Amino acid sequence: MGGLTVAVPHEAAVGERRVALVPDGVRELRAAGLTVLVESGAGAAAFFADDAYAAAGAQIVTAAEAYGRADVVVSVGRPADRLRGGQTVLGLLAATGDPPYLRRLADLGVTAVSFEGLPRRLSRAQPMDALTSQANVSGYKAVLVAANAYGGYFPMLVTAAGTVRPARVLVLGAGVAGLQAMATARRLGAVVSAHDIRPESRDEVTSVGATFLDLTAPPARGRAAGAGEGGPVPDGAGEGGYARALTSGEERAERAALAAHLARHDVVIATALVPGRRPPLLVDEESVKAMAPGSVIVDTACGPLGGNVEVARPDTTLLTDEGVTVIGAGNLAATVPTAASLAYSRNVSALLRHLVRDGALAIDPTDEIQAGVVLTHGGRTVHEGAPS
C-alpha cells in the first residue's frame, strides 16, 4: 500500500481533547503500508505523547507539514480550514445538514468521508462505527456528571442515622448512549427508568436492568402542567434502528405525555438524537419548573442544532429559580479523552483500511459502506442524503 500519507492534526474545536489516531492506530496503518504524520502535540490532551507516536512509526511534524503533505487528513471533528484539492478528510464532520460546508469541500475538490452515515447494522461496518463508540463514552460520563451535580446519593444507604432511598433516574432515549447511561446509573445503585419512542427498545431497556416507562399508562403521582395535551404518543421507529424525526405535533404529544412523569424523578438524562437533524424537544420549560428543587437534568443532545431540553444551553450549567440544575453537555466524549480516543482510533483505522486498495484510495459508490460515508468526491456532492 505504499505512498498514501495520512495526517493527524490538532483538533480545531475549542475544548476538544480527543485525537483521531492513537499510537496503536499508527502501528496498524504503518503495518498496512501507509505513512503517518502526527502534528506535534496532537495527542497531548488525551495523554498520548509525541514520543509514543514516534515509537509507533509516525513522523512528528508541524501543522503546515501535516496539511501540506497529507493525502488523507483524519480528525475527530471538522479540521482547520487548510484543506486543498485532491485531499480526503475523514471524521465526524456533521456535514449532511450543512450545505454550505459541503459545497465548500466539493468546490475545493476534497473528498469528504464522515462517520455519521455509516450503515451501523451492517456487521462488517461495526468496527468502523464511531457514533456507537463515542456514544458509549457519552452515556457513561453523563451519569457521572449527573451524580456529581445531584445533592443526594445514587444508591440506597442503610446507616445508623436511618435509611436513604436511592435516586430515581429517568433516561430519555434508548440508543447506545441511553443504554450505557442506564447501565451506569444502575451500577451506581439508582432506580432507573427509561423511555424511547421506538417500541422495539423496550426489551433493550429491560436487558440493562431499567424499567421501561410506558407513556400510555397514568403516572404514579398526579399530572404535571400540560399533561394529556397534544394527541396520542407517537411511534418513532425509523430506518436502520434509528428513531425517525417527529413532526411538531408528535413532539408536542411526546412532551405532554412525559410531563406527567418527569417530576417523579431526581435525575433526568436526555440522549435522544436523530443523525443530521435537530434533536427532538422532549422537556419544555414548564416541565423543568415542575421538578423538585435539587433535581438534575443532563442534556447530552444539546448542541448547535438544539437539544432535548428547552432551557438547556450548550456547554452550560444553569440553576433555575426553582432549584433545578440543567446541564447542556453535547460533547461529553471529549471529557473522557483517553478512552474516547482509543475507541475512535480503532474506528478510523478500520474505515481507512476499508477505503484503501493497492496503495491508493478507491472510492466506490456501489460499496454499501462507502455509499453511506462518502459525502463529496470529484468536485460534487455524492451522498444521496446530503443536499446537492
Long-range Cβ contact pairs of 371-375 (< 8 A, separation 24 or more):
372/117, 372/118, 372/119, 372/125, 373/113, 373/114, 373/115, 373/116, 373/117, 373/118, 374/111, 374/112, 374/113, 375/93, 375/95, 375/96, 375/102, 375/105, 375/112, 375/113, 375/114, 375/117
Kindly report, residue by residue over 9-18, the tens digit of the pLDDT.
999 999 999 9
C-alpha span between 202 and 213 (Å, rounded): 9
Q: What is the DSSP track for 71-112?
A: SEEE-SS---S---TT-EEEE----TT-HHHHHHHHHHTPEE
C-alpha span between 347 and 368 (Å, rounded): 17
Which segment of 168-172, 258-262, 267-271 scores lowest on mean pLDDT?
258-262
What is the per-residue pLDDT for 383?
85
Q: Do 16 and 335 meet the contact criterion of CB atoms below 8 Å apart?
A: no
C-alpha span between 178 and 194 (Å, rounded): 8
Residue partners of 87: CB distance under 8 A and separation at least 6 = 70, 71, 72, 73, 110, 111
C-alpha span between 173 and 186 (Å, rounded): 16
What is the per-residue pLDDT for 254?
80
Task: Identify residue 208 by its one-letter amino acid code.
Answer: V
The per-type count for the chain, helices as H runs and strands as E runs, is 11, 19
What is the per-residue pLDDT for 92?
97
**Dihedral sign from CA coordinates of 308, 200, 260, 230:** positive
Whether pLDDT at 336 is above 80: yes
Angle, CA 101 vertex, CA 98 and CA 107 arms, to 5°: 135
Q: What is the dihedral of CA 341, 343, 344, 346, to 10 degrees?
A: 120
Whether pLDDT at 229 is above 50: no
What is the per-residue pLDDT for 53?
98
Q: Do 51 and 122 meet the contact criterion of CB atoms below 8 Å apart?
A: no
Kindly report, residue by residue over 66-89, the tens digit of the pLDDT.
999 999 999 999 999 999 999 999
What is the per-residue pLDDT for 192?
98
Alpha-carbon distances, residue 109 vs 79, 104, 193 (angstroms): 16, 9, 48
What is the per-residue pLDDT for 334?
98
Q: What is the mean pLDDT of the chain?
A: 91
Which segment of 71-85, 216-230, 304-318, 320-334 scores lowest on mean pLDDT?
216-230
Alpha-carbon distances, residue 115 vs 36, 214, 322, 385 (angstroms): 20, 33, 40, 13
Phi, psi of 256 (to 5 degrees): -65, -40
| CATH number 3.40.50.11740 is the correct assignment for the domain at 132-334 | no
Q: Which residue has the cell 429517568?
A: 170
For the chain, the domains span: 5-117+337-381, 132-334
pTM of the model: 0.90
Q: Do 132-334 and 5-117+337-381 fall under one CATH topology?
A: yes
Q: What is the mean pLDDT of residues 355-379?
A: 94
CB atoms near residue 155 (< 10 Å):
13
C-alpha span between 143 and 181 (Å, rounded): 6
pLDDT-derived band at 288, boundaries 50, 70, 90: very high
Which segment of 2-6, 168-172, 200-204, 292-296 scores lowest on mean pLDDT?
2-6
What is the per-residue pLDDT for 386?
60
C-alpha span between 282 and 163 (Å, rounded): 33
Q: Strand 380-381 relative to strand 374-377: parallel, antiparallel, unpaired?
A: antiparallel
CATH superfamily for 5-117+337-381 is NAD(P)-binding Rossmann-like Domain (3.40.50.720)
Whether pLDDT at 221 is above 50: no
What is the per-residue pLDDT for 246?
62
Kindly report, residue by residue over 91-123, the tens digit of the pLDDT.
999 998 899 999 999 999 999 999 999 998 899
C-alpha span between 274 and 306 (Å, rounded): 12
